[in-house]
Structure 1
Amino acid sequence: MKKSMQELLSKNREKISEEAAEGIFQIDEEKIAEFIKEVGNYEIDYIPSGKIRKNLNTKYIGNEIYSFKEVESTNSVAKFLSRFGAKEGTIILSEIQTKGKGRRGKKWESPTGGIWLSIILKPDIEPSKAPIITLATGVAVAKTLRGMNIDARIKWPNDILINHKKVCGILTEANAKFSTVDYVIVGVGIDTRVDTNILADDLREKTTSIDNETPEEIEEYEIIANFLNEFEDVYELFKAGEFDEILYDWRRMSQTIGSYVEIKQPLGKVLRGTAVGINNQGALILELENGDLKKIISGECIIREG
């Protein structure tokens, strides 16, 4: 796989450059050369894939693992590999992301000391079902951290909190055509040993890391393997259409439900009220201050004191 992928990268240099110019991939000529070199030498000391595999009990998630020293974004790498035959369950890891991104194009700080990974999925689903994958991923991360005796909570739609501080973000990107989905990329960023003091002022007080929350020392490869094990279990439920079981676990571990929240939507619209639940499509159900119920499909959720 390593050799064939390197050949694909080399042969498609011109195509990548064209797509980069169109903004599809933010990889310039210099980055392409670095990318080819990295893929040709992807087994590095950052997190050896062999150690991860020894702790996996999955059938297909993690069968292929690409571990990089540095990339702009693991999701961007995953998109590229998806276009050139990467199998479902392929994992992309990087020690550092220089242009990590969150929802709505926000920058995601990805320095040394975190787990930055993307998973390539190829589910046979309608595009409308893709948001459930984000919720399912949140369930997998929360279960992984709870397995470390950490009381992790899920904030709608894509954050994991410890003691009301963010420790993990999830970015799901689907490539859909009409009524079908070609592939889905699930990006996960977990702060394991990140020094929160180096973060921007607006992030520092709202962010934590695993080593700040538990005295136990757990190797990153163990956390990754445990997460991938949990993820395959919940993803299998998703593919089987067992949404109720996924949503049950999501509600059980939710920080959002029952909280007074503020939802920031596009064009500056802000809604406030009590989050009373989520529906089977993953939308948040908000009880507004006038008592009306509102279904929220997307937006930035901020938990406020009621």
Structure 2
Amino acid sequence: MREEIINLLKKENKLSNKTISEIKDIDLNDFSNIVKELGKEDTEYIKASEISKDLDTDYIGKNIYVFKEVSSTNTVAKFLSINGAESGSVVISEKQTKAKGRSGKSWESPLGGVWLSIILNPNVDYTKLPLITLATGVAVAKTLEKVGVENPEIKWPNDIIINDKKVCGILTEAVSKFNTIENVIIGVGIDANLNITDFPEKLQDGTTTLKEELGRSGDENLLIRTFLEEFERTTELFNHEGYEDILKEWRKRSYTIGKIVEVREPFNTYYDAYVLGIGKEGALVVEKIDGTLEKVISGECIIKK
């Protein structure tokens, strides 16, 4: 995180008068207000004022920080959360140079997408973190329905699918101290006003965009505003322990239930299984080839064609 924040400050000429040795001795927390100020400067495409206009939320998006380019919105959000940013604060960037994904994957996020992270203080233990990811997936799917997408589906645990192709990814990270969750960072990347050719060739077959699916470009600021409203509604269920309501909405849109998948768990444990459903804690319930049942808490599920 330190290197990424220093690179952001360098890019914005906030450390131009510092020597290398001085930079090594910097307490980055002293620069948190500068990072917040950078997030309030004018940008060309994503406008905090447009998102805030008519935003119907109580706390999500009341503080919005928009950047022209960062390595990862999750990294900036994590930095700001450590330095007093309020729950519900949103970090958005027009571009990302090193976006974060599951299992340490990273990639560039070009201009035209919606790349954002939300800081939450949900006051829960680690066992509930998977449900936050599922709730976010429901909020994204409902958002896409509102902008005209028919039948967006949710692939466990963190992808949104349109017509068998990925249009959105979600990454949830906990900010912990002494085994206590202080904040949760929810990163969301939606391929909005992009062309398929904007992606690396190896990703093009399995990827789609809202522009491709709807046959037109959309208003990114309106898309973000709609998502923030849906996100607050869904997380309010979470805050009031309405977990079954979240799971009900998730199951209605599941891309994974009823499919044969290759389960890839940590430590290189791979096996084929049939997906029966999802448990109350957010784990995927599968039946292995030998008939035994398993709960998949973390890892990947590759749909078998």
When normalised by structure 1's length, the TM-score is 0.88
Which residue of structure 2 lines up, in the alignment, with residue 40 of structure 1?
37
Deviates more, 1:278-287 or 1:43-52: 43-52
Q: Which amino acid aligns with 1:241?
A: E
Deviation, structure 1 residue 77: 0.3
Could you tell me whether the CA contact under 8 Å between 1:55 and 1:226 is conserved in 2?
no
Q: Deviations over 1:233-291 (max 9, x none)?
A: 01011011110000000000000001111111223221211111110111000111122
Write the deviation string for residues 51-93 of structure 1: whole angstroms up to 9, x where unpaired.
1111410001000111110000000000110111100110111
In structure 2, give the amino acid aligned to 1:34: K
Partner Cα separation in structure 2 for residue 244 and residue 52 of structure 1: 31
The answer to whether the aligner puts 1:75 opposite 2:52 as a matched pair is: no
CA distance in structure 1 between the aligned counterparts of 2:250 and 2:83, rounded to whole angstroms: 34
d(CA) in 1 for partners of 2:249 and 2:37?
40
Per-residue displacement from partner, 1:102-159 (whole Å, max 9, x unpaired)?
A: 0011013311110000000011111211111000000000011011231210000000
Residue 292 of structure 1: how far off its partner (Å): 1.3
Secondary structure of 1:264's aligned partner: strand
Name the structure 2 match of 1:25.
2
Question: Where in structure 2 are the equivalents of 1:155-304 lying within 5 Å?
Answer: 155-177=155-177, 180-215=180-215, 217-304=217-304
Deviation at 1:180, TM superposition (A): 2.9
Native 8 Å contact 2:172 2:186 kept in 1: yes
Q: How far apart, CA to CA, are the structure 2 residues paired with 1:88 and 1:110?
A: 25
Q: Using the TM superposition, give the Cα deviation of residue 101 of structure 1 relative to its aligned residue in structure 2, in angstroms.
A: 1.2
The answer to whether the Cα contact below 8 Å between 1:171 and 1:188 also exists between their aligned partners in 2 is yes
SS of the residue corresponding to residue 106 of structure 2 reads: coil
Secondary structure, in 3 states, of the residue corresponding to 1:27? Answer: helix
Relative to structure 1, is the Cα distance of residues 60 and 28 closer, same or farther in structure 2, using a 3 angstrom cutoff? Answer: closer
The one-letter code of the counterpart of 1:160 is: I
Does 2:161 correspond to 1:133? no
Asked whether the 8 Å contact 1:160–1:168 carries over to 2, the reply is yes
Shift of 1:45: 2.4
Identity of aligned pairs, percent?
A: 48
One-letter amino acid matched to 1:227: F
Quick one: which amino acid aligns to residue 37 of structure 2?
G
Assess, with a 3 A threshold, how the Cα gap between structure 1 residues 145 and 178 changes in structure 2: closer, same or farther: same
The amino acid across from 1:130 in the alignment is L
In the TM superposition, what is the alpha-carbon distance from 1:38 to its structure 2 partner? 6.3
Distance verdict in 2 for CA 1:215–1:199, change over 3 Å:
closer
Distance 2:202 2:113 in 1: 19
Structure 1: 5+ residue stretches without partners: 1-23
The answer to whether the Cα contact below 8 Å between 1:56 and 1:225 also exists between their aligned partners in 2 is yes
Query: How much has 1:32 moved relative to structure 2?
Result: 2.6
Kindly provide the CA deviation profile for residues 206-255 of structure 1, in whole angstroms up to 9, marking residues without a partner as x. Answer: 00000100135430111101100000001011011110000000000000
- Separation in 1, partners of 2:182, 2:197: 40
User: Which piece of structure 1 moves more, 73-82 or 28-37?
Assistant: 28-37
Tell me the residue number matched to 2:30. none
Matched residues, number:
282
Separation in structure 2 between the aligned mates of residue 110 and residue 82 of structure 1, nearest angstrom = 23
Aligned partner of 1:87 in structure 2 is 86
Find the aligned partners of 2:257 and 2:2 in 1 and give their Cα distance.
Answer: 37
- Write the distance in 2 (CA, Å) between the matches of 1:29 and 1:241: 39
Change (3 A) 1:237 1:30: closer
TM-score (norm 2): 0.88
SS in 2 for 1:98: strand
Is the Cα contact below 8 Å between 1:127 and 1:176 reproduced in 2? no
Q: Which digits, 9 at most, give the CA deviation of each residue in 1:178-211, with x for residues without a partner?
A: 5531000000000002222232232110000001
Tell me if structure 1 keeps the 8 A contact 2:155–2:161: yes
The structure-2 alpha-carbon separation of the partners of 1:25 and 1:281, relative to structure 1 and needing over 3 Å to count, comes to farther
| CA distance 1:29–1:233, change in 2 (3 Å) | closer
Whether contact under 8 Å (2:193, 2:218) holds in the other structure is no
The farther-off stretch of 238-247 and 140-149 is: 140-149
Task: Tell me if structure 2 keeps the 8 A contact 1:124–1:180.
Answer: no
Measured after TM superposition, the shift of residue 46 of structure 1 is: 2.1
Give the SS at the match of 1:109.
strand
